[in-house]
Amino acid sequence: MQTLTIAFVAGARPNFPKIAPMLAALRAYPQVTPLLVHTGQHYDPELSSMFFEDLGISEPDWMLGVGSGSHAQQTAAVMVEFERRCLEQTPDAIVVVGDVNSTVACALVGAKLHIPVVHVEAGLRSGDRTMPEEVNRLVTDTLADLLYTHCYEGDDNLRAEGVADERIHMVGNVMIDSLMKVRDRAEAPDLDPEWIIERGFGLITLHRPALVDNEASLRPILAALGRISESIPLIYPVHPRTLARMKSFGILEEDAEPPLALPGTRVLLTAPIRYLQFLWLMDRARLVVTDSGGIQEETTVLGVPCLTVRENTERAVTCREGTNRLLGVDPAVVEAAAAEVLRAPMPDLDQVPPLWDGNAGERIAEHLVGWLNAKKEAPAG
């Protein structure tokens, strides 16, 4: 029986719910040693510790600690440190997930060191190359030896780009595995109970630089949220970057710290919260307003209306087979869509995309171990 060492790379908090199901599934394969790599692209010691606890993940084996910086600085720093580790302990494969800078950086290192690269959540395309994530997706999928997709649309995108069928495998959505596993353990956050009456609040996650780094875009969308909050209170776990922008634009006082209401509104700004608490809120919300990719998928499975404040989405399947509506960034459109959702009953969701069933991690583990064993046993040359 072949022994295998597989490095799993995470750079940001949303990567961990994608990796956790694969690590859990590989416990059934004693010949496999997983290495959890945290690049430190996004890192908060307290939040990371809670996230690992919520998902049942052990502490990282390799902590690269690269920190923040420009896209070039961050990608280069991850490459330098990850290459050093791979030269010290060469894994049999590198598994990258999603589309953050760490994903493309570690894929580049693997390709140049001739270590097989596996991309989980491959084939997603927004068609917008002004988005750094889209560039990361394109480059990673070009370099990866094995491409695990989570919907047939991903397969189609890859084939349209000339990718051979033998590199593409539709396995389902690993992030939904994590959601289903811990949904029953979700817990209410420590907020005033008046804010979290089931189906009596909306949930907000807006954090993308294109929206929050520009005062001309941030102020109008916050004003729209304020008007929506006249009909239903809104809970907004605010990213530290967004909080800093609100202060620098004069929307909040310099010494303002969550939890607090956005001035003149029923929008409650909270600090970032742990995964199980955020899941509790999302599962009970009347609607979610977001610019996140993963939340479009999670709300689809939970049956919660999702309003996506972006011009495009790489998760179009959630608009066809889920609860997601792609609105663009016009605050008036967002406000009108929220009013329409609040007038309608909760959706009666009768289908989700194929294989979003909680078993993607097991499918990946079985296929990946077999694929790597076959590669090891193949004659050289």
Where in the sequence numbering do the catalytic residues fall?
Answer: 207
Cα separations in angstroms, 293 against 139, 331, 345? 19, 19, 25
> Which tokens sit at 370?
């077999």
What residues have CB less than 8 Å from 143, skipping those under 6 apart?
Answer: 107, 108, 110, 111, 117
Among 177, 283, 288, 274, residue whose Cα is nearest residue 225? 288
- For the residues of 290-328, what is the DSSP string, one character each? E--SHHHHHHHHHT--EEE-SS--S-THHHHSSSEEE--
Within 10 angstroms of residue 166's Cβ, the number of other Cβ atoms is 7
d(CA 323, CA 351): 10
Torsion of CA 78, 79, 84, 88, to 10 degrees: 100
Outline where DSSP puts E strands in the chain: 4-10, 32-38, 62-63, 93-97, 117-120, 146-149, 168-170, 202-205, 234-237, 260-261, 267-270, 287-290, 306-308, 324-326
What residues have CB less than 8 Å from 104, skipping those under 6 apart?
Answer: 75, 96, 135, 136, 139, 140
Characterize the bridge pairing of strands 287-290 and 306-308: parallel
For residue 22, the surrounding DSSP H or E stretch is helix 16-25
d(CA 74, CA 61): 20
Among 119, 114, 164, residue whose Cα is nearest residue 138? 119
d(CA 109, CA 115): 8
Contact by Cβ (8 Å): 117, 111: yes
Contact by Cβ (8 Å): 347, 322: no
> Which tokens sit at 266?
């029923």
